Each structure stands twice: as C-alpha cells, then as structure tokens.
Amino acid sequence: MQVIAIIAEYNPFHNGHAYQIGQIRRMFPENCAIIAVMSGNLVQRGEFALASKYSRAKAAVLCGVDAVFELPSVYSCAPANLFAEAAVSIVAGLGGVDYLCFGSESSDLDLLRFAAQNSDIDLGGRSRGKNYPRSFYEAFKDLYGAEKARVFKGSNDILAVEYIKAIAKLKSPVAPLAIRRAGDDYITSASAIRQCVCRGDLGGLRAFMPGQSLDLLRGLIKSGKTADINNISAAIIAHISRLGAAEIARFADIHGGFERRIKAACGICDYADLIARLASKHATSSQVKRMVLNIFFGIAREEQKAPPGFTNLLCANSRGREYLNRIKKSAAVKIISKPARFADNTEYAKNIFIDNIYKLALADKRGEISAIKESPVIL
C-alpha cells in the first residue's frame, strides 16, 4: 500500500480539496491510502476554525481522505515556516509515508526546490516600512529574477517551498509531489466560502463544495456548532489588558516593538477593533491575529520551534485504520486516540485548554463536553 500525505486545514472542505484527492487517486489507482495532517481548532491565518477539528476531519474522510491526524494548535497558528516544519515533522514521525502532496500555483518542483535551497537571504534594510512577505519577495527577485521569484507570490507555492525545506531539514525520505492548483469555475477559496457563511448566504455553495461536506456544514450552522472568535472578544481584551508590554513581548510572533503597540491599542475596544488598529504596512492582518491568539493562549516562541510530541487521531475509515495498524508500534510521534490518558502531559494539556476555549466561541454551547473526553470519528 502506497501512502500519500496531505497537509491541510479543510476550513471548510471544498471542491479544490476534492480535486487534489481525485488527482492522487488517478496517479495511484491501486491500494493507495491518503492521510491528512490537519490544523487543530486554530488555523494559520490566526483565526478560530469555522468548524471543530473533528467535524472538519469527518468531512475530509467522507470526501475521500482515509485518516486525519491533528497538527496541534500551537503549531497550526504559526508562520508558514513553523507551520510547515511541524506538520512535516508529524508526517515523518508517523512513518510509512511515500509522498507529501501539496497544491501549487506553479506545480514546478524544480523551481520550488531552487527557491527552497536559496531562500536564506539577508533582507538588510528592505523590510523598513514594509511587511515581511513583500520585503522577502523583492529581495529574492533582485537576486534571482522575477521568473524564479514568482513562487513567493502564491500562497500555495510559499507553503510548498516551506514543506520542501522541512523535508530536507528533517532528512525525511518522503518525496514531494506538487499538483497544480485548479482554477475552474467550480472551485473557490475557503476564505470566500467562510465569507458566504458569515453573511448567511449558503445558497450558492453547492457549486463549490462536495455534497457531503456542505450538508455537514449546513447541519453545524443550523445547530449553532460553528465558531466565531468575536463571541469571546471581551475575554481576549480583558486578558491582554492585564499584561504589561514586557510580558506581551515573550509570546510567539511579537516583534519590532509590537508589544507596545498592542498594549496601547488594547483599551476600550473589541477584538475586531483591536485587529483593525494593529494591522499596518509593517504586519499583515494574519500576523496580527496570530500575535493576539499567541498572547491570549500563552504560546511562547520556544513552543512553536520545538517539534510536536504528539498528534491526535481525528477520523479514519477502514483503509485509514489499516494504515494506523501498520505504523502504531513504529511511529516516532505519539498518536493519541484517548485524550484522557494524557491529561497530565503539559504539552497536551495546552492543546486541551485551547480546544475548551474554542468551544466557548460556538454559537450554541449546549451539549458540549470537555475536549479531554472527545474521541476519534470512525467511519
């Protein structure tokens, strides 16, 4: 059995994700298992996931993935390089994986490898007055030309470069596999779908999401089981307000004196106001959101730089369970299916804490249980 891994957020699962899975099935038509390492309840844009990690994992397995493992929230709410390195570390730690498949605007592996091998460059004074992504793109373009620098203009290519760097750093035998990101009329971005959900405009989503994924999402919306960080706005502001600038500076992603700006901005306002006040030419909205969540959850730089010590099994079908049985004794990363057994583990306890706070942001909290009592969805 060949095993292909995907790193994803599935926030939510849409036709672009289904296209990637379909392409993998066409490339490997016989006895192929597809596993995903998926963001926990925090996502890389510095936001709460629209639906819980278990619900998103179930949607993925219903739509063609065989097993979904969690990228813990400490790492899923991190810059691209740390997000990618932690996710690849889990892929490598699980073992038995032949390929890491990712979407790519260019789908040019030679170009992506070149960018990965030459991305350690000194920005000098280029970052003055600009955010990091723009500064880095301009520096790379000046060194290697616009054709090679184009990989740093696409969000999928940027992550692809980081995946390839992480594979090399970890000396993993997993081979990269790039699939060109489709741009057909039936595919739209996850962010566009989330905007439709926020507006209550679900009518047109049938064209952009597989039926099982959309039906699951509709059910979650109807039952109030989608999350909105604005539902805990007061708690975020109250927590940050009690911290001094020196304390704020200890947390991940805080840089360039942002601790003082955050402290000054965190007055009589709500979460949305805070993000609007802090977003600037020096920091993207996603960077600012990650900063705020890292402060709120107490995520330090050192935590994001250390390799993940565990992953939760979130959902699996029969083929996924077959893969799990193959690797469970040899895996180098701890695979957790019964959270209560690891309640005393400090690293794991933080993930549980984040998951329980996430539940407070649900539209309807009735019927929720502690994250420590949750278990994988088996289909």
The reported pLDDT for the residue numbered 128 is 55
Both tokens of residue 21?
């899975």
CA atoms within 13 A on the CB side of 224: 11
The reported pLDDT for the residue numbered 8 is 97
The reported pLDDT for the residue numbered 130 is 59
Tell how far CA 252 is from the center of its chain. 16
Q: Which fold has domain 2-227+306-378?
A: Rossmann fold (3.40.50)
Is the backbone peptide bond immediately before 12 cis, with ω within 30 degrees of 0?
Answer: yes
Interstrand relation of 42-43 and 175-180 (parallel, antiparallel or unpaired): unpaired
With CA atoms as reference, report the closest residue to 334 among 305, 312, 352, 307. 312
Give the orientation angle of helix 285-297 with respect to helix 233-241, to 10 degrees.
Answer: 70
Which residues neighbour 31 within 8 Å (Cβ) at sequence distance 6 or greater? 1, 2
- Domain ranges in the chain are 2-227+306-378, 230-303
The reported pLDDT for the residue numbered 90 is 98
Helix (H, G, I), strand (E, B) or coil at 11: coil
The reported pLDDT for the residue numbered 239 is 94
The reported pLDDT for the residue numbered 96 is 95
Both tokens of residue 3?
């095993």
The reported pLDDT for the residue numbered 131 is 63
CA separation for the pair 31, 33 (Å, rounded): 7
Q: Return per-residue pLDDT of the chain as tens, 379 residues.
A: 899 999 999 999 999 999 999 999 999 988 899 999 999 999 999 999 999 999 999 999 999 999 999 999 999 999 999 999 999 999 999 999 999 999 999 889 999 999 899 888 766 655 555 566 777 888 888 888 888 888 888 888 989 999 999 999 999 999 999 998 766 555 567 888 888 888 887 887 888 899 999 999 999 999 999 999 999 999 999 999 999 999 999 998 898 888 999 998 887 688 999 998 888 767 788 999 999 999 999 999 999 999 999 999 999 999 999 999 999 899 999 999 999 999 889 999 999 999 999 999 999 999 999 999 999 999 9
Helix (H, G, I), strand (E, B) or coil at 218: helix
On whether the pTM is more than 0.85, the answer is yes
Both tokens of residue 7?
């790193």
To 5 degrees, how large is the angle CA 284–CA 289–CA 292? 130
